[in-house]
C-alpha cells in the first residue's frame, strides 16, 4: 500500500485501475495499492504536481481519508448498572 496526498486546494478524483476512483479533499491523503501507482492517469497527476506519494506500507501512524477509528480499553465505556434503579410515576 502507498499513501498519496492531494496537494491542491480543490477536491480531486484520482483515477485508479479497473475504473475505480479515489476521492481526496484538499490536503487529504488516502491509500492505494502499490501496483496502482504505475497507472498512467495517476502518473499524470504526479507529474502535474497535484498529488504526491507520502508513504509506503501499512503504516499505523499514517492518517488517511478513510477515517477508521480505534478505541483502546481505557476509552471504552462500561454500561453496567451502578446501583439500584427506582421507577417513578404512576404504576
Q: Domain residues of the chain, as ranges? A: 2-55
Edge to edge, the sheet with strand 2-6 lists: 29-32, 2-6, 51-56
Tell me the pLDDT tens digit for each residue of 20-36: 999 999 999 999 999 99
Q: pTM above the 0.85 mark?
A: no
Evaluate whether 31 touches 66 at the Cβ level (below 8 Å). yes
Question: Taken in order 47, 49, 12, 60, is the CA torsion positive or negative?
Answer: positive
pLDDT of res. 84: 75
Tell me the pLDDT tens digit for each residue of 1-12: 999 999 999 999
* Mean pLDDT, rounded, for 76-85: 64
Question: Residue 56 contacts by C-beta under 8 Å, 6 or more apart in sequence?
Answer: 1, 2, 3, 34
pLDDT of res. 65: 44
Tell me the pLDDT tens digit for each residue of 37-71: 899 999 999 999 999 998 876 644 444 444 444 45
Residue 63 CA, chain-centre distance (Å), reads: 6
Amino acid at each position: 500500500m502507498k499513501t498519496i496526498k492531494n496537494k491542491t486546494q480543490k477536491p480531486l478524483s484520482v483515477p485508479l485501475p479497473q475504473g475505480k476512483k479515489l476521492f481526496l479533499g484538499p490536503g487529504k491523503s488516502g491509500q492505494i495499492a502499490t501496483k496502482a501507482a504505475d497507472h498512467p492517469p495517476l502518473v499524470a497527476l504526479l507529474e502535474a504536481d497535484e498529488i504526491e506519494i507520502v508513504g509506503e506500507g501499512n503504516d499505523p501512524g499514517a492518517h488517511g481519508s478513510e477515517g477508521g477509528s480505534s478505541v483502546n480499553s481505557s476509552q471504552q465505556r462500561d454500561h453496567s448498572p451502578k446501583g439500584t434503579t427506582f421507577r417513578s410515576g404512576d404504576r
